[in-house]
Amino acid sequence: MTADSVPASYGAYAETVADPRFTDWLRERSEPAWSDAITHPFTRELGAGTLDEDAYERYLVQDYAFLEALVGAFGFAVGEAPGIEAKRPLIEFLETVTSTENDYFERSFDALGVPESRRSDPDPSPTTAALLDLLDRAAREGGYAETLAVLVPAEWIYREWATAVATEYGDPDTEPPSDGAGLPFYYAEWIDLHAVPSFVDFVDELRDQLDAVGPECSPRRRRRVEELFRRTVDLEVAFFDEAYGRDPSDGDV
């Protein structure tokens, strides 16, 4: 599937499917990059335990550099969300990111021997810089729908690849062993963080919110939401590519 095979407007798309969802339309409009992201060799090698640790270290340092901006974006979304029920899952996720996930980073950096200078003050890669700029512009130049247009694909992609590879080493419904059937803990736990039922449910709730606000946007704003969603998916692919030390599309991020 490619974007050209999917109606360019959500209204036209909704007429072609029995149970239309705004986020499904966005996902289909982001192909083939979407499939490239959720089946990327980086994630497959991570699940198989064959990923080069230098590649994972590069990836983890850059992901941690992105974490503070991600927390800020979710904080903005909490403020913009329409009502307590919409705010609740965002607040709960923030608690997980700033506690459980942050602890994971610290333990993994220790195990991988990442010096403090690379943890606290890394040089952002081109893709990390582009993601940081995208999050900032989505909130500053848009609002709730635009912010969700970046957050939803970022989290949804992680759920999709993680739940797929989780079956290669264990049951995500249970606490994994420290080595995840042969995986070092920093591989096994990273997969589990994004495959456990609580995260799966959170992504569903996040999608529900974008499904609710997206169709209510003006046609012009829906185009902007689509652009942000597709741009995020493209950058997620580039982010995995960079972990291998590759230049992301000759700087075209």
**176-198 core/surface letters (b: 16 or more CB in 10 A; e: else):** beeebeebbbbbbbbbbbbbbee
Q: Please report whether residue 15 resides in a domain.
A: no
Can you give the residue range of the structural domain that contains 177? 22-246
Q: Please report whether residue 17 resides in a domain.
A: no
Q: Please report whether residue 83 resides in a domain.
A: yes
Of 210, 191, 211, whose CA–CA distance to 200 is shortest? 191
Q: Please report whether residue 9 resides in a domain.
A: no
How many domains, the chain? 1
Please give the pLDDT value at position 176. Answer: 43
Q: Helix H segments across 49-195?
A: 53-80, 84-96, 102-112, 116-120, 126-140, 144-166, 185-193
Q: Please report whether residue 13 resides in a domain.
A: no
Per-residue pLDDT of 114-157, as tens digits, reads 999 898 888 899 999 999 999 888 888 889 999 999 999 999 99
Q: What is the pTM of this model?
A: 0.90
Q: Please report whether residue 138 resides in a domain.
A: yes
Q: Domain holding 110: CATH number?
A: 1.20.910.10
* pLDDT over 60 (residue 209): yes
Q: Please report whether residue 65 resides in a domain.
A: yes
Q: Is the dihedral of CA 113, 180, 151, 235 positive or negative?
A: positive
* pLDDT over 90 (residue 207): yes
Residues 6+ apart with CB under 8 A from 144: 77, 80, 81, 82, 213
Per-residue pLDDT of 148-190, as tens digits, reads 999 999 999 999 999 999 976 655 444 444 344 589 999 999 9
Per-residue pLDDT of 54-101, as tens digits, reads 999 999 999 999 888 888 888 989 998 888 998 999 999 999 888 999
Q: Please report whether residue 86 resides in a domain.
A: yes
Please give the pLDDT value at position 174. Answer: 46
